[in-house]
Amino acid sequence: MSKEHPVEKRVKYRIEGEFCANCSAKMERVLSATEGMGETTINYAAKTVFLLPSLVMQAQDIMGRIEPGVELVPIRAQPNADTADRTATLEKAKHRRLFRIMTACALFAVGLAFAPYWKNSSGQVLEYLLNLTAYFMVGYKVLWQAVRNIARGQMFDENFLMSLATVGAIAIHELPEAVAVMLFYSVGEYLEERAVNRSRRSIQTLVSIRPDFANLIHQLNVTKVDPEEVRVGQQILVRPGERVPLDGEVMSGSSFVDTSALTGESVPRKVQAGDTVLAGMINSSGLLTLRVVREFAQSSVQKILDLVENAGTHKATTEKFITTFARYYTPAVVIAALGLALLPPLLIGGDFQDWLYRALTVLVISCPCALVISIPLGYFAGIGGASKQGILVKGANYLEALTDVRTVVFDKTGTLTEGIFQVVEINPAVGYTKKQLLEIAANAEAHSPHPIAKSIREKYGQDRDLTEVQNYEEISGRGIRALVNGKTVLVGKAELLEQAGIQIPSLAVDQGLGTVVYISVDQEYAGQLLISDRVKADSRETVARLNHMGMKTVVLTGDHQSVAAAVAEELTVSEYHADLLPEDKVSWLETLRQSKRQGKVAFVGDGLNDAPVLAQADVGIAMGGLGSDAAIEAADVVIMDDQPGKLVDAIHIARYTKMIIWQNIAFALAVKLVVIFLGIFGLANMWMAVFADEGVALLAILNALRVRRYHNPEKFPQTSSSSSALQEPTL
């Protein structure tokens, strides 16, 4: 018998060393085109990549040829001595780089100060000595990389452009211009890297919620261990001030826990015996003993960290377009510069050296780094900013899709309502008492995870004899059929009993926001229960804000028509559809997507029983996803607490991010085109060209980082009126 070989899974690696965004795109392109690699995405903002372990050496070779010095390092859960040594080496390299830049600046300044004295032959020797020393101190790596790339047939990158422009300037005796270009390019690269690292650190701040240790209780001893060593069922101790290391149930003790790192909410939550706490929360006051319910790899904090860190692998349409645009933009400008250097002197006459200088000026500004860096960094910052507010976006493509949402479809229970049910009325049929009816329903619902079933069991409150419950069957969207004490019991919607041929007497029950559960025993009607739910505190305001933004709001629910109508009227949603099975919700969603209304459709559900419709929507948004495996797996966006208002915040963050990104695109292209135009007519020098390249790139990066500091806009007034024009976020 042949054994099946397990499918090799991709592993995340950190890319260490210096490389630019343009080189990142080139490495990504070559890796993806390599046989066996498959589609490979480099997260430039996080400096990470997912690769098959068996192909890491090949990937290292490819990346090293494109950008010498980069190194693939597996990401370990816990840092070791090698990691510390590598970090120290990188810090020393940064200090040496800064020293070279500062020394070159000093030499360049001396050269400019004594420029009037370089007229005699000995003075020219000193001029060349000072300027070329400064030039090679900051430009040797650029020159060497350009030579390596040319030898491999790889041209049209920033190393080639900078080398060609500066060597040409030296050839026509424009030494200060050549040094200035290489010096400002190096300074710009250094500042860009610092700015990008700031954004990385903002994500690493979130990653710091990863717990470092767990206090494992073993008999009478407490041992400090790695959270990954703890198994389900073991008990751990969490002292005041410590971070909860694993998802667990409180066995003893009570305390207040800080959930801000997970949900963005600053108000501490009280927990006591029987409550669940999640990894990443901070124990504020009391001593807690927890029973671990999930291993670390499956814990909420680990899934959240993976989700945020890996968001860069899902690129937005704008990001993909700019990457493609950059591939053709640089060669086009190089060809145009070559034509500018050769054609005018040949066709209309003029000084060849003057036209060559103009062409070199155009070359300097042809590097697309401002666009290639700032756009993915903008999305990275937007995703990081959203995560700080308890909104997890799985990728830039979903953040971009949020800007195009025009229809928001809500599930009702657990999304717009609290999903915390109570039995408020018991109406038994003749021959049954209230206690008997409740006992029958509680036994039949003994195995159901539904919130309504839980409320019935809680109302009954007594132990149930599960040995008397047989042939338990859940009928999707309708209720339960089970054999209880040898009798066939149906508990659920009216349709469940009607399909079984059981007649239900009409009772005058004011449902309001409640749900009626009908019960039959051995084909005879036994009575009904009224289960109440209530609308969440900010649901009304959320729908009002969406209506104000011109959104169409829809509620899809499996509840009775009267319940759906009451919720729709209270919240002023645009339309509602009730008595739906899970497959009916998918059908209605598809109908809404195919309607004439422009824009995308978002579905907002609790993530527990809405996986099919979450996956079908243009943007699936899981409410209350904290600790919910189904929510994190099925949704594109996870709102980590139960506040519907975070949906509006997510849309505003997405629009704000897109606005910043298009500002960068317009600014970078406009400045580059203006300076190219001025350079063609001899009105711009290389100093202006350097600003148009590195200066614009740095400004675009700083502008992109504004997304991290985004604050919630002022809340919209509660109004049911809608606007045909979509409102932009308050900035």
Catalytic residues: 411
- Give the pLDDT band of residue 85 (cuts 50, 70, 90): low
- Give the pLDDT band of residue 251 (cuts 50, 70, 90): very high
Run of H or E including 400:
helix 396-402
Amino acid at 392: L
Burial (0-12, 13-18, 19+ Cβ within 10 Å), 167: middle
Gap between the Cα atoms of 104 and 110, Å rounded: 10
- Give the pLDDT band of residue 308 (cuts 50, 70, 90): low
Q: Is the dihedral of CA 413, 416, 422, 428 positive or negative?
A: negative
C-alpha dist (Å) from residue 514 to 368, 433, 562: 60, 22, 9
- Give the pLDDT band of residue 405 (cuts 50, 70, 90): very high
Gap between the Cα atoms of 715 and 710, Å rounded: 15
Gap between the Cα atoms of 374 and 669, Å rounded: 13
Predicted pLDDT of residue 719? 38
Predicted pLDDT of residue 200? 60
Gap between the Cα atoms of 133 and 258, Å rounded: 56
Determine what percent of the chain is predicted with pLDDT higher than 70. 83
For 578-592, b/e burial (b = at least 16 CB within 10 A) is bbbeeebbbebbeeb
Q: What is the pTM of this model?
A: 0.73
Other beta carbons less than 10 A from residue 153's beta carbon: 6
In what order do the strands lie in the sheet containing 637-639? 391-393, 637-639, 619-623, 600-605, 405-411, 552-556, 575-577
Torsion-angle region of residue 276: left (phi > 0), alpha (psi -120 to 50) or beta?
beta
* Stretch among 163-167, 658-662, 713-717 having the lowest mean pLDDT: 713-717
**DSSP β-bridge partners for residue 576:** 555
Would you state the torsion angle of the CA atoms of residues 643, 647, 649, 654, taken in this order, to the nearest 10 degrees? Answer: 150
Q: Strand, helix or coil at 720?
A: coil
- Report whether 542 contacts 648 (CB < 8 A): yes
Run of H or E including 14:
strand 11-16
- Give the pLDDT band of residue 360 (cuts 50, 70, 90): confident
- Give the pLDDT band of residue 292 (cuts 50, 70, 90): very high
Predicted pLDDT of residue 731? 30
- Specify the pairing of strand 255-258 against strand 282-283: antiparallel
Domains and CATH numbers, the chain: 11-75 (3.30.70.100), 231-294 (2.70.150.10), 422-532 (3.40.1110.10)
pLDDT tens-digit readout, 128-159: 888 889 999 988 888 888 888 777 776 666 77
The residue-averaged pLDDT of 235-254 equals: 91
Gap between the Cα atoms of 410 and 540, Å rounded: 13
pLDDT exceeds cutoff 50 at 77: no
- Give the pLDDT band of residue 524 (cuts 50, 70, 90): very high
Gap between the Cα atoms of 118 and 700, Å rounded: 39
Gap between the Cα atoms of 259 and 110, Å rounded: 57
pLDDT exceeds cutoff 50 at 700: yes
Max intra-chain CA distance, the chain = 120
Predicted pLDDT of residue 84? 57
Cα-Cα end-to-end distance for the chain: 66
Q: Is the dihedral of CA 594, 597, 599, 605 positive or negative?
A: negative
**DSSP β-bridge partners for residue 14:** 48, 73
Over the chain, what is the mean pLDDT? 80
Predicted pLDDT of residue 601? 92
Give Cβ neighbours of residue 285 (< 8 Å, ≥ 6 apart).
Answer: 240, 255, 256
Q: Strand, helix or coil at 249?
A: strand
The residue-averaged pLDDT of 368-375 equals: 72
Gap between the Cα atoms of 290 and 297, Å rounded: 18
pLDDT exceeds cutoff 70 at 509: no
Q: Is the dihedral of CA 167, 26, 400, 713 positive or negative?
A: negative
Predicted pLDDT of residue 264? 63
Predicted pLDDT of residue 402? 93
For 310, what's the count of Cα atoms within 13 Å in the CB-facing half-sphere?
16
Run of H or E including 236:
strand 235-238
Give the single-character DSSP code of 514.
-
Q: Where are the alpha helices (DSSP H) in 152-223?
A: 158-171, 175-207
Helix/strand number for the chain, H first, E second: 23, 26
pLDDT exceeds cutoff 60 at 508: no
pLDDT exceeds cutoff 80 at 7: no
For 658, what's the count of Cα atoms within 13 Å in the CB-facing half-sphere?
20
pLDDT exceeds cutoff 80 at 657: yes
Gap between the Cα atoms of 555 and 564, Å rounded: 8
